Amino acid sequence: MKDKLLPVTSIMNGSIQEVTDTLFSYTNQVVNVCFYISAEQEWVLIDAGMPHSADAIRKAAKKQIGSDHPPQAIILTHGHFDHVGAVEELAQCWNVPVYAHEKELPYLTGERNYPEPDTSVEGGWVAKMSKMFPNEGIDISKQIKQLPEDGSIPVMQGWKWLHTPGHTPGHISLYNDTNQVLIAGDAFVTVKQDSLFKVTMQTQEVHGPPRYLTTDWNAARQSVEKLRDLQPDIAITGHGIPMGGDDLKAGLNQLVTRFDQIAIPDYGEYV
């Protein structure tokens, strides 16, 4: 499974968007990774893309930073295959620590696998296709570190991590209170991840976490409420185009008030 190049992509593949003057979102096939670049040119990679994307991520980072010096750290929102695809290779070649939430560590140290994707879940063709998605945990025990308990994030001044479980047990989001910028991972996304057409075209709308891999819908609901209460001004999510302003606020409000209809599938293994 791990050696397969997955045949999913989007019109945003390869593009880099400047979200703030220190934060850039780079789309790798259908998933976003972020580059945080400080004024001193120290940088952090947030999430690590699809399988086989190490070269593409290195190239994109070099383009944005202007040199190929390694980051200070890699931060993972969670350990799903589409967020850790290149992490083994990158952490090794850069020789940098990888940070994740304590509850995500078993999936990153070879101890546990994620549950199988729920191909029976309401969610059309992408849910059906999800049987091709690897659910095996990876083993990066040598590089992995637990995030600082005080909520801070290495190098990322002014940023805090928040535990936003549901999609996975140790899922985190990253938030900067000063400019109200949110990196939400898969706690919610800005594209209907069930729809291959919408994924390909990256149609912008606020949705709950990708269904075929979400196992705890109660926790997922609470996490979305927590993020809505922050009233973020801009959000970069794991999938979809970064969103901001009133569209984001209205979308999040609607997702919270209609979570049962919008996010929770009508049928599926984990409902």
Residue nearest to Zn ion as judged by C-beta position: 80
The CA distance from 200 to 58, in Å, is 24
Looking at the Cβ atoms of 8 and 96, the one nearer to Zn ion is 8
Report, in Å, the least distance between residue 184 CB and Zn ion.
Answer: 11
The CA distance from 67 to 236, in Å, is 24
CB-based contacts of 120, cutoff 8 Å, min separation 6 = 127, 267, 268, 269
**Pick from 79, 83, 80, 60: which is nearest to 71 by CA?**
60
CB-based contacts of 150, cutoff 8 Å, min separation 6 = none
Looking at the Cβ atoms of 154 and 170, the one nearer to Zn ion is 170
**Pick from 8, 4, 54: which is nearest to 33 by CA?**
54
Report, in Å, the least distance between residue 213 CB and Zn ion.
Answer: 5
Looking at the Cβ atoms of 76 and 252, the one nearer to Zn ion is 76
The answer to whether residues 235 and 18 touch, using CB atoms and an 8 Å cutoff, is: no
Looking at the Cβ atoms of 208 and 238, the one nearer to Zn ion is 238
Report, in Å, the least distance between residue 148 CB and Zn ion.
Answer: 23
Report, in Å, the least distance between residue 214 CB and Zn ion.
Answer: 8
Report, in Å, the least distance between residue 32 CB and Zn ion.
Answer: 9
Per-residue DSSP letters for 195-252?
-HHHHHHT----B-S-GGG---HHHHHHHHHHHHHT--SEEEESSS--EEHHHHHHHH
Q: What is the C-alpha R_g of the chain?
A: 17
CA distances from 199 to 107, 119, 129, 233 (A): 26, 17, 13, 23
Looking at the Cβ atoms of 37 and 191, the one nearer to Zn ion is 191
Task: For the beta carbon of residue 16, count every other beta carbon within 10 angstroms.
Answer: 16
Looking at the Cβ atoms of 37 and 80, the one nearer to Zn ion is 80
Residues engaged in binding Zn ion (CB under 5 A): 80, 82, 186, 238
Report, in Å, the least distance between residue 172 CB and Zn ion.
Answer: 12
Looking at the Cβ atoms of 88 and 186, the one nearer to Zn ion is 186
Report, in Å, the least distance between residue 81 CB and Zn ion.
Answer: 8
